Amino acid sequence: MPATYEPIATATVASTGGTVTFSSIPSTYTDLILISSARRGVDGSGGDAVKAQVNGDSGSNYSWNGISYNAGGTGASRANNQSIFIAGACEDGIYSTSICHFMNYSNTTTFKTMLTRTSSTGTQGVGTTVNLWRSTTAINSIFLNAASGFYAGSVFTLYGIKAA
């Protein structure tokens, strides 16, 4: 039986402060899954989201709604017309684990919706976010960044899931 859940690519940050790009993503899958083990590229006491853009789109075409529990307590947040979406979390000093589902990423008829779950401690905490990219274009690249980039050793793996 053909593989249903396949690794597409892995990117490991070699130098602290770097960013990550997955390019030439094949359109042959149904969903994508991005798994991150990410640490922010500074030795401080804060953290940031893993901020993402797709297809090089840096316009105000993203939005999200999330819930979280972190050092600041429990809460919900949303943002409209943003230039990035939330693909994970990264703290200072520790590697946080996140998973981001890109649902029906290759269809060319609907907007794109992504579901993110983050597991971290400190400023980012535990949470989940739904993200929207207002474009019907198939996703073929993913750019990942954070304030001060990522720490060396941060790893991002992209998987493809293919429905029958």
Q: List residues near another protein by CB under 8 A.
A: 1, 3-11, 13-15, 17-23, 30-31, 63-67, 74-78, 80-81, 101, 103-104, 107, 109-113, 115, 117, 128-132, 134, 143, 149, 156-159, 161-164
- Other beta carbons within 10 Å of 119: 14
Q: What are the distances in angstroms from CA 17 to CA 42, 88, 93, 147, 155? A: 8, 17, 13, 9, 13
- Give whichever of 27 and 78 is closer to another protein, judged by the CB atom: 78
Q: Which is nearer to another protein, 45 or 77 (CB)?
A: 77
CB of 38 to another protein, least distance (A): 13
Closer Cβ to another protein, 51 or 112, answer by number:
112
CB within 8 Å of 1: residues ≥ 6 apart? none
Minimum distance, C-beta of residue 93 to another protein, in the bound complex (Å): 19
Burial of 56 (0-12, 13-18, 19+ CB in 10 A): exposed
> How near is the Cβ of 16 to another protein at its closest, in Å?
10
Residue 79 has a CB neighbour count (10 Å cut-off) of: 15
